[in-house]
Amino acid sequence: MFSKGKITNNKRIFFKFSFFGFLAFIFGNKKVLSNYKVSDFEKNTGFRNYGIPSKFEKIFRWIISNPITKGNGVSYTPLSKLHGSIIPNGLHFERHHYGVKEINPKNYYLVIEVGPKKIQFNLDQLKKIKKFSLKTFIECGGNSNVMYNKKPLQSGADLIHGLFSISEWTGVKLSKLFEHNKIKTYLKSFKWLEFTSFDKGSYNISLPLKNVIKNGFLALYQNGEPIRPEQGYPVRLIIPGWEGSTHVKWLKKITFRNSPVFSRNETSRYTDLLPSGKSVQYSFLMASKSLILSPSPGQQIIPGKNIITGLAWSGSSYIKSVEITVDGGQSWFNAKLDEKKKAVVRFNFEYNWEGNEIVISSRCKDGKNKIQPSRINFLRKMGSNAYYHYSGRTSWRIDSNGNVSHTY
């Protein structure tokens, strides 16, 4: 349990961080590829060694950086400008506490400390172990936290919910890695694993062994190519459905322990302060959630047939159904899912808009029949002191001119 004072202080720091981040946003902290220089080889052959987007497309991530701590900040995936469900590697969201670590793969070693033993794996050894691929999402525990605000943030869906991305990750299952003779002997002797990063702050977090060994794996590839430095090159921990703070990047060491280490990232961060004054620790699994991406703030629709589309996801099950309301929740209609029984799906709903003011929203039901709650009902449970793990509904208002805004 943590004191309210400590939580409040953390919020105060965040508000200061948000203020400077807002200034960065206002003054156009954009990253585009318009300044890419074409080499003579490319001019002469008409080919590029590595493809880039068309110069006519301006899809980029918004970046909010902390001016006090270099390397601390976030970049948001432009969800509302993308289609399908796979996010391009260059647009995957980023959340860094201590900057991006550049690691030479020739010098890389993963150390596993178990009992009196220290086992090392270099990158070539990891690559030789049988590989496993999975399409899954990563969502920062702080994603959508502005939904706790008393007034709706008048910003696009990307800045509200963009700390979320979907990729196909390929790597080595921890269960397979732990079959090593010097490791499996000790598996029943420990209950926790501590994962430590190579980053400047030695980011670390402790996770329950029995859960992690079931689904966790070490990612070496993202959407077919070696994972990029900003995503944890050369090795990143992936635990499907768990919050982003558990997906340790630039993985340095795995230590077997009998109890959690109670690091900063599992005590003062990524915990939820309830109305009772108690804090919920080790939430891990991200709750089921859905979001309308089109139409959304910054977009405009015209009378006639419109397609309402978005994404739904669940950390604990699959998405069973998604419903859409166009009258503020008075009535609900089933949307069409692009895939069935998947943890991440895109949904579509055809609607004939007659030019009247409406409020639209989505809600999902997962395989355990849990229905995404309204924002009001979510806050009744979590209270207003919470900051992480928002999974209530989001509503957009469409005025008579077709302009979209955020509403509660």
CA–CA distance from 231 to each of 123, 234, 342, 369 (Å)?
Answer: 16, 9, 24, 33
Question: In angstroms, how far is the first alpha carbon of the chain from the final one?
Answer: 31
Pick from 20-24, 223-227, 342-346: least confident: 20-24
Assess whether pLDDT exceeds 60 at residue 24. no
CA–CA distance from 45 to each of 40, 121, 297 (Å)?
Answer: 9, 41, 43
DSSP classification of residue 280:
E
Do 245 and 322 fall within a single domain? no
Do 225 and 312 fall within a single domain? no
Do 248 and 373 fall within a single domain? no
| pLDDT given at position 363 | 98
Task: Give residue 369's domain range.
Answer: 289-407
| pLDDT given at position 268 | 85
| pLDDT given at position 49 | 87
Answer whether residue 83 is part of any domain: no
**Is 182:77 a contact under the CB 8 Å cutoff?**
no
| pLDDT given at position 22 | 44
Higher pLDDT pick, 207 / 51? 207
Do 178 and 256 fall within a single domain? yes
Assess whether pLDDT exceeds 80 at residue 304. yes
| pLDDT given at position 17 | 41
Do 354 and 264 fall within a single domain? no
Query: Quick one: average pLDDT of 83-111?
Result: 96
Which amino acid, one-letter code, is at 306?
Answer: N
Q: How many domains does the chain fold into?
A: 2
pLDDT band of 182, cuts 50, 70, 90:
confident
Query: Quick one: average pLDDT of 39-49?
Result: 86
Assess whether pLDDT exceeds 60 at residue 121. yes
pTM: 0.90
Percent pLDDT > 70 in the chain is 91
Residues 261-280 have pLDDT tens digits of: 999 999 888 998 888 888 88
Do 335 and 251 fall within a single domain? no
| pLDDT given at position 125 | 97
CATH number at residue 193: 3.90.420.10
Percent pLDDT > 90 in the chain is 77
Do 136 and 244 fall within a single domain? yes
| pLDDT given at position 36 | 61
Cα 194 to chain center, whole Å? 21
Assess whether pLDDT exceeds 70 at residue 4. no
Assess whether pLDDT exceeds 60 at residue 325. yes
Do 175 and 144 fall within a single domain? yes
| pLDDT given at position 213 | 95
Answer whether residue 53 is part of any domain: no
Q: Residues 254, 256, 262, 268: is their CA dihedral positive or negative? A: positive
